[in-house]
Amino acid sequence: MVGKQGRQWRSVCKGLVLGTLLTSCMILFYCLSNPQIQHSLPDVPVPYSCAHRPAPAHSVPHPKNVSQQADICTPRVDVMFMKTHKTASSTLLNILFRFGEKHRLKFAFPNSRNDFFYPASFQRSQVKDYRPGMCFNIICNHMRFNAPEVAKVLPADTAYITILRDPAELFESSFHYFGRLVPLTWKISAEDKLAEFLRNPKYYYDPEGFNSFYLKNLLFFDFGQDNNLEPNDPRVEEGILSIAARFQLVMLVEYFEESLILLKDALCWEMNDLLFFKLNARKDSTVSKLPLELRAKALEWNGIDWRLYQHFNATFWKKVDIYGRERMARDVAEIRRRNKEMATICIEGGQAVEAGSIQDTSMQPWQPIGEKSILGYNLKKNVDKAHRKLCRKMLTPELQYLSELGVNLWITKLWGYIRDVINW
Ligand SMILES: *[C@@H]1O[C@H](CO)[C@@H](O)[C@H](O)[C@H]1NC(C)=O
Ligand SMILES: *[C@@H]1O[C@H](CO)[C@@H](O)[C@H](O)[C@H]1NC(C)=O
């Protein structure tokens, strides 16, 4: 009894210390690293299309005759990827990073950390080295979406894409990954915090609570909308329609390969642009499959996200029908075949391993507070020269890749260091 109370006290204290530290550090860092006054930035329109130097190796071969020409399209290189939380988006980021490097594209990166000061609304002044009138090809880090500001750093012909996930699963994942950053979960003393929370969410939830958006309609929140509306509020429908109007492709985690094929089709990419290994995946034993009753509760609690998901599930399958179901099945099989082949070529043991078994620190993924549940990979020792570079890139976790692309992550790193010191 005493032991249990002692432990609870310790964890509450840890939480308080950490919460205070984090908040004050973040406020300080925000002031230090964001000195410009945002309103003073003049509006200089960006060009219709941003300059970039196409990689010569991938220029389209000269068409030999007219009937062939119809099949040839030019890859779209201007992309806004709205990176939603807990939606396999790290895997997609890796794909975008490689695509950007291949075509030597210009990324709009955040400065000093790996997101655009989330959950603050996106401002173009947050973009690293931003000057008015400058334009970028790709923006893809976490942000709270803010359409007018985003449009000011991208050319007008940019393709907007994003990805959604079943809201019950997303809620489970977010609760697991971010729960400890949300103070209102600290007072839940039950063993199964998630079940207890869902049993009576209104009792525990506080819309004003610090970081509370992680636990209610996180997707809708990421799109810059109000996550605390009632699902039948007319503003919800408006929000969904504005997302539908803005994003030309909304992918689904549950149909990841199908989503990639639709992406390739929409942007005229090549099959090899879609190669991927699942990054940032969680150890199976830490994923709790929600029983039906809890799933129903989670969907009810995240009613807006559920509406959002259903809307884009419908549009997704319409797109698949237009693409052709059989053709889709063939292409998905082909991606899977190529990915499997790459796994054999690149990965020691052919599959993901736990953090403790990853030898190379540059391959260590970022872990949630309090555990090491995220899996990573070991690069094979003797990969042949033709594949070595690609293998390494495909296996590099998000933060390390960002560093390689020249993003300074001192805030993120300091936060990691503080966590290590407190031993969380
Ligand atoms: C033109 O392309 C079509 C389809 O690829 C092919 O069947 C045809 O033989 C080509 N004609 C010439 C003159 O190369
Ligand atoms: C998604 O759409 C498909 C095809 O219309 C349907 O079979 C499925 O039940 C839908 N899923 C959800 C979660 O709405």
Mean pLDDT for all residues in the chain: 87
**Whether 227 contacts 213, CB under 8 Å:** yes
What is the mean pLDDT of the segment spanning 340-367? Answer: 86
406: which residues sit within 8 A by CB, 6+ positions away? Answer: 109
- Of 168, 133, 166, which is closest to residue 152 (Cα–Cα)? 133
Burial class (CB in 10 A: 0-12, 13-18, 19+), 347: buried
- Centre of ligand 2 to C-alpha 339, Å, is 27
Rounded to 10 degrees, what is the CA torsion of 216, 221, 227, 231?
-100
47-53+73-328+401-411 architecture in CATH? Answer: 3-Layer(aba) Sandwich (3.40)
H/E segment holding residue 249 = strand 249-252
In the prediction, which pLDDT does 24 show? 73
First to last CA, the chain: 24
CA distance linking residue 312 with residue 163, whole number of Å: 10
**Whether 73 contacts 121, CB under 8 Å:** no
| DSSP sequence for 50-113 | ------GGGSPPPPSSHHHHTT--PPP--EEEE--TTSSHHHHHHHHHHHHHHTTPPB--BSSS
Is residue 35's pLDDT more than 50? no
Dihedrals phi, psi of 71, to nearest 5 degrees: -80, -15
For 338-348, write each residue's pLDDT tens digit: 999 999 999 98
In the prediction, which pLDDT does 375 show? 84
In the prediction, which pLDDT does 1 show? 47
- Centre of ligand 1 to C-alpha 64, Å, is 8
CA 314 to ligand 2: nearest atom: 2
Cα→Cα distances 6→236, 349, 379, 419, Å: 45, 43, 43, 21
Q: Does 69 contact ligand 1 (Cβ within 6 A)? A: no
In the prediction, which pLDDT does 53 show? 45
- Integer-rounded Cα Rg, in Å, for the chain is 22
In the prediction, which pLDDT does 59 show? 45
In the prediction, which pLDDT does 55 show? 41
CA 64 to ligand 1: nearest atom: 14
In the prediction, which pLDDT does 168 show? 97
Ligand nearest to the CA of 319: 2
| DSSP sequence for 302-337 | THHHHHHHHHHHHHHHHHHHHH-HHHHHHHHHHHHH
CA angle at 72 for the pair 270 and 264, rounded to the nearest 5°: 30
Q: Does 68 contact ligand 1 (Cβ within 6 A)? A: yes
In the prediction, which pLDDT does 314 show? 98
In the prediction, which pLDDT does 14 show? 74
Residue nearest to atom 9 of ligand 1 (CA): 65
CA distance linking residue 182 with residue 19, whole number of Å: 9
Ligand nearest to the CA of 63: 1
What is the mean pLDDT of the segment spanning 260-277? Answer: 96
CA distance linking residue 355 with residue 333, whole number of Å: 30
Is residue 18's pLDDT more than 80? no
CA 65 to ligand 1: nearest atom: 1
In the prediction, which pLDDT does 418 show? 81
What is the mean pLDDT of the segment spanning 53-70? Answer: 49
CA distance linking residue 84 with residue 309, whole number of Å: 13
Is residue 70's pLDDT more than 70? no
CA distance linking residue 376 with residue 370, whole number of Å: 17
What is the mean pLDDT of the segment spanning 222-236? Answer: 97
pLDDT interval class at 30 (50, 70, 90): low
CA distance linking residue 12 with residue 7, whole number of Å: 9
Ligand nearest to the CA of 65: 1
Specify the 3-state DSSP secondary structure of 153: coil
For the record, the structure tokens of 245 come out as: 């109007």
In the prediction, which pLDDT does 36 show? 43
From 259, 316, 317, mutation site for ligand 2 pocket: most ligand atoms within 8 A of C-beta: 317
- One-letter amino acid of 309: Y
Residues with CB under 6 A from ligand 2: 310, 313-314, 317
- Centre of ligand 2 to C-alpha 326, Å, is 18
For the record, the structure tokens of 66 come out as: 């007219």
- Of 177, 245, 171, which is closest to residue 215 (Cα–Cα)? 171
Q: How is the chain split into domains, by residue range?
A: 1-36, 47-53+73-328+401-411
What is the mean pLDDT of the segment spanning 272-295? Answer: 86
From 64, 66, 68, mutation site for ligand 1 pocket: most ligand atoms within 8 A of C-beta: 68
CA 313 to ligand 2: nearest atom: 1
Residue nearest to atom 13 of ligand 2 (CA): 310
Helix extents (H) in 214-279: 218-222, 234-246, 256-267
CA 117 and chain centroid, separation:
14
CB pairs under 8 A, 24+ apart, for 321-328?
Answer: 323/261, 323/262, 323/265, 328/258, 328/261
In the prediction, which pLDDT does 19 show? 75
Ligand nearest to the CA of 66: 1
- Centre of ligand 1 to C-alpha 270, Å, is 22
CA angle at 415 for the pair 411 and 416, rounded to the nearest 5°: 120
Q: Does 189 contact ligand 1 (Cβ within 6 A)? A: no
What is the mean pLDDT of the segment spanning 220-224? Answer: 97
| DSSP sequence for 388-412 | HHHHHHHH--HHHHHHHTT---HHH
For 84-122, write each residue's pLDDT tens digit: 999 988 899 999 999 999 999 999 999 988 999 999 999
In the prediction, which pLDDT does 72 show? 77
- Centre of ligand 2 to C-alpha 20, Å, is 44
* Residues above pLDDT 90, as percent of the chain: 59
In the prediction, which pLDDT does 236 show? 98
CA angle at 85 for the pair 83 and 90, rounded to the nearest 5°: 60
CA 66 to ligand 1: nearest atom: 1
CA distance linking residue 214 with residue 305, whole number of Å: 12
Q: Does 67 contact ligand 1 (Cβ within 6 A)? A: yes
- Centre of ligand 2 to C-alpha 299, Å, is 15
- Centre of ligand 1 to C-alpha 274, Å, is 29
Residue nearest to atom 1 of ligand 1 (CA): 65
Q: Does 65 contact ligand 1 (Cβ within 6 A)? A: yes
